[in-house]
Amino acid sequence: MEVSVAFDQTYQQHIKHLSTLHTLMGNIDTIEKGFGRARPEPARVDVLAEFTSWLESSKQLHPAYHMELVMVFKHELQDITVLIDVLKHRADLSKAATKATATAKKWKQPDAPPTNTDKLAKQKENDLKAEENSLAVLDAVNKLVLSEQIKKFWLEKSISFRRAMSNFAKTHASVHHSVRHYLCCSAV
């Protein structure tokens, strides 16, 4: 937090100095134009447009940097939220599987003695097999879905991060190129 405050203060001071320089250069230009023919020789190079451009690009640099940073954090938050939802869904499936297992075990070892009817015993046995098959299918589907969701999640996260870093690098390379071009051209 302190770094951000120091950065903001330095940025504000930089903009203030650039604004003062721009104002002074504009005042000098206005005064010298007022001299008419008595303007000092040799004539000054008109640099007011470059100073204006420099001031405007400096004002836009800070918000653009913070916007890129905010977007990176926003995407990270969205990724974490999706992961939490996937894990909650898996926990819900696990609870359902645990409940079904408990039910299946209860049918396997009932507290009350079985009735004499073969039909009821056969039905319980069939229900137990169906329940065990359902549990096995549920477990397999759970593992498969979770595995695929994690792969997809990681791929989307990686692609998103690469795009954000690419945009960030392009933005800063463009600004660096503009400043370097300005410095190179202004030295002439």
> How distant is the alpha carbon of residue 180 from its chain centre?
30
Torsion angle defined by CA atoms of residues 41, 42, 43 and 49, in that order, rounded to the nearest 10 degrees:
-140
Which pLDDT score is estimated for 66? 66
Q: How far apart are CA 60 and CA 171, in angstroms?
A: 11
Q: Measured between alpha carbons, how far is 138 from 159 in angstroms, rounded to an integer?
A: 31
Q: Which residue has the tokens 């451009």?
A: 53
Which residues are CB-neighbours of 157 under 8 A, at least 6 positions away? 75, 79
Residue type, 109: Q
SS3 (DSSP) at 115? coil
pLDDT in tens, 67-96: 776 777 888 888 888 888 888 888 888 888
Interval 142-162 mean pLDDT = 84
Name 75's Cβ contacts closer than 8 Å, sequence gap at least 6.
157, 160, 161, 164
pLDDT over threshold 80, residue 39: no
Average pLDDT of the residues in 140-145 = 84
Band (pLDDT 50/70/90 cuts) for residue 43 is: low
- The predicted pLDDT at position 93 comes to 86
- 59 Cβ partners below 8 Å, 6+ apart? 15
Both structure tokens of 5:
């405050």
Q: Average pLDDT, stretch 47-75?
A: 75
Look at the pTM and tell me if it is higher than 0.75: no
Sequence-separated (6 or more) residues with CB below 8 Å from residue 40: 32
CB atoms within 10 A of CB 93: 16
* Predicted local distance difference test score (pLDDT) of residue 40: 62
Domain segments of the chain: what residues? 1-44, 47-111+118-186
| Mean predicted lDDT score pLDDT of the chain | 77
